[in-house]
Amino acid sequence: MYAIHTEQLTKYYGKARGIIDLDLAVEEGEFFGFIGPNGAGKSTTIRTLLGLIGPTKGTAQVFGRDIVSEKTAILADAGYLPSEATFYGGMKVRDILKLSANLRKTDCRAESASLCDRLQLDTSRKVDELSFGNRKKVGIVCALQHMPRLLILDEPTSGLDPLMQREFFKILRERNHQGTTVFLSSHVLSEIQRNCQRAAIIRDGRLVACDSVDALAKTNARRVTVRGDFVAKERPGSGQAFDTAGLSTSGQAFDIAGLSTSGQAFDTAGLSGVRDLQISEDGVSFLYSGDINQLTARLAKCRIDDILVAEPDLEEIFLHYYADDNEGGEPR
Ligand SMILES: Nc1ncnc2c1ncn2[C@@H]1O[C@H](COP(=O)(O)OP(=O)(O)OP(=O)(O)O)[C@@H](O)[C@H]1O
């Protein structure tokens, strides 16, 4: 059975685009990643699935239940961590957790105590006095303490320190092994890559890819790192020193004409498929999706100390999916 199934799910806020024609299928028991930059539509998707806002068009079911007509039953099965959890002011953490458990009509005391212990959450403090990270932990316990069948987590790790993030993902993996479906919305790609089996990528409100994390990370682009005695050279005709400041990760297509090594120009004229150029003191690194023979022929003219050609990680794949279309943005 699908934990989540959407068909052409669309949400407009007035005339403003939220999500458009989203077709998504998440199997029960999956640890599923939902990736997208700010404003892509992740929170809109989640709020629509939970019946917190109504769709403009399309349909969706959670465990086979319709998100419009059966939203109360859906909420009973789900644990939801919003990206910014807010609580009633003046209340102690323990009272908030109790209130949340009472709303579920479930005795959550044992699980709540275990989660608070593992996340080092002091339940005697007033919630207003807590740091952002500690308030996040309160939201996590509220979402997890009733052992829901589906966890929907919207940017859960923002504000958590690395040790707490590690413990949090350990808890999620344990739950997933017990059968809980985890739907994790994030723009931290390393956590998607480490934890999720499959992931969907959303861009400008539309799904642009949905596959296993391994498959998403596979393109014929390679991260090429060349070490050598590279020096900045004048750009032809510009009269300006080749300024590398700010060039590193913008995701735009760069040409690396103008770099030279030991007097030999490392010139990319006619060499297409160079992106995401990063320049360091002892070399260059870039994503390359062109003809490898052309690259090696070009490099053969230069004196280099070392070369590494590796598969890009998910972070770099993401740049492909988000590059502007007029910059050859289709992943290759
Ligand atoms: N209440 C609202 N009224 C009008 N437009 C909205 C509203 N909420 C979201 N939007 C718009 O819908 C689009 C998707 O926003 P959404 O918050 O779903 O993105 P997101 O991927 O969750 O981003 P973030 O990572 O920043 O939270 C954005 O263009 C946003 O401006």
Task: Tell me the three state secondary structure of residue 20.
Answer: strand
**pLDDT tens profile 16-36:** 999 999 999 999 999 999 998
For the record, the structure tokens of 103 come out as 């709303």
Residues 209 and 293 in one domain: no
Question: Which ipTM score applies to this complex?
Answer: 0.96
- CB of 84 closer than 6 A to ligand 1? no
Domain, as residue range, for 100: 2-217
From the CA of 45, give the closest atom in ligand 1: 18
- CB of 82 closer than 6 A to ligand 1? no
The reported pLDDT for the residue numbered 295 is: 85
CA-closest residue to ligand 1 atom 29: 39
Residues 92 and 180 in one domain: yes
Residues 264 and 204 in one domain: no
Specify the number of domains making up the chain: 2
Residues 176 and 269 in one domain: no
The residue among 167, 190, 217 that closes a domain is: 217
Residues 76 and 29 in one domain: yes
Residues 147 and 59 in one domain: yes
**pLDDT tens profile 295-328:** 888 778 777 888 898 877 666 777 666 665 444 4
CA-closest residue to ligand 1 atom 16: 41
H or E stretch covering 319? helix 314-322
Q: Which of 268, 264, 248, 265 is nearest to 256 (CA)?
A: 268
CB–CB of 219/35 below 8 Å?
no
Task: Give strand pairing partners of 13.
Answer: 16
Residues 152 and 274 in one domain: no
Cα–Cα distances (Å) from 11 to 7, 161, 205, in that order, read 12, 34, 9
Q: What does the DSSP 8-state code read for residue 128? A: G
- CB of 83 closer than 6 A to ligand 1? yes
